[in-house]
Structure 1
Amino acid sequence: MSAETVPTGIRIARLWLAGRGLAEVPPTPGLAARLTVRRRARVAAAVALAVFLVAVALVNVAQLPSDATDDELGAGRLVALLGLVALVLALVLTLSLLDRWVWRVDQRAAAALARRAAHPVRPDWRSVLGRARAAFLVTTFAAATVLAIANLVVRDSTARYAAIIQVVGLCGLAVGTALQLRHVLTRPVVADDENSLTVDHLMRVEDAREVAVPTAVWSLPVVSVFATGLDSWNYAWLAFIVLSVVALVAITVATARGAR
């Protein structure tokens, strides 16, 4: 078959395999479909997170007229926060539906197999995500939550409002991340031989590590608490973002050789 007649999905699958040292494994239509749906689901998830962050920014900057009373200001902020809660629920639902989309494609690929291979050891979070990345993810969410609560407790009303937005956003992101990781860890193996077992496990590892990059957590302060002006608290947020990015890079470099 000439290069011109090879379907795009098969070419992408071949490149994916070659990039992971599995050039000897033949690309199959099932693998092509699984890689395609993951690529599209990641784009859709990125768009959903971007929309969510824009909405958080709009909630944060939306202000009533300067002559509004304290009661009007409080009521307006309450309505905005209720809208933000609805957006959080919509984000979690969207991420869950995207995971279900990926699962359905995996299920169809599994149904097309003449036989099913059982993984010798059920993949768990240690082999899929790794201790270092799991600890990094938990620490990142914990540190962001501590900073948000500190802003909520000790700063003025404007900064506290931004901190409330931050806490609500973090809760939504934490739930969405947990649901996505649960899906990656619990989905059935789609394989019919040793090579496809390796491919399935590598795909699971990449899915988990993609979910575990806390890009939205780093972006939340930019669209919420930074709007209150730069001060010692916001410098702490900047330090948190820089340090966590450096930590992720260090973990990625340290675990690169052991990914396979």
Structure 2
Amino acid sequence: MKDIGERDILAPGDIEALVLDVFLRAGLTADSAAPVARSIRHAETAGLRRLGLGLVPHMVEHLRCGRVNAAATPHMVDSGPAALTVEADGGFPCPAVAICLETLCNRALTHGIAVLSVRNAYPVGAGRLFLDHCAARGLVGFANIAGLVARAAPNGSMVLEIEQRQLGLSQSSPMMQSRVVPDRGTGRTVPFEGPLGPAFRLHHSFVAVRPSLWHHAPDPPVAVQNSGIAVSPVLLEKIINA
């Protein structure tokens, strides 16, 4: 038995392989599971623990109880020369973004800016996959999402809740609007944790911008060193057995 505080050290590639296997066993197709696993790896290497491996047990639970569509088939529609729309079909947002990420970036390089709207999707966790891909193409990524935030519960534990969030934007920016759909019949925001509650049908907006549109572009993110990531054995066991 491991002592309290002891950690397993997993390389980012091992984390991605572990998560891929877990979601394949939970019923996702390889096309959907692969971008989800990449997204979890990017969150972990950015140090966003609750939105990385910490999110996986919730995601698997929502797959098994039907709050997210395991058989979702996202499809892209051209909305304009620099605008794309993806119908996520009630699935995770990562596969929906992945099918048009290259197209989005190419159009941003051509037109200076390109916008992606993702409809009827699960909440966005870290969003690092989108931001890191934009940075790799020499672009700056912005997003307005129905995202997840950790808050203290009355009993002192930390819980995840859905909230409109901005990535790469100031909180006061009027640019773009995501939509946090209310729970029908209650008027409250759709609950996140647990198997009870309606299916997730949230909307997200993503923007890729060519830095030359500004006089000064933000510095690119510092690369994360592949030195391994410490993971709690309790969380690791929970993920493996999800």
* TM-score, length basis structure 2: 0.26
- Hey, which of these two has a bigger chunk of strand by percent? 2
- Larger Rg belongs to: 1
- Hey, which of these two has a bigger chunk of helix by percent? 1
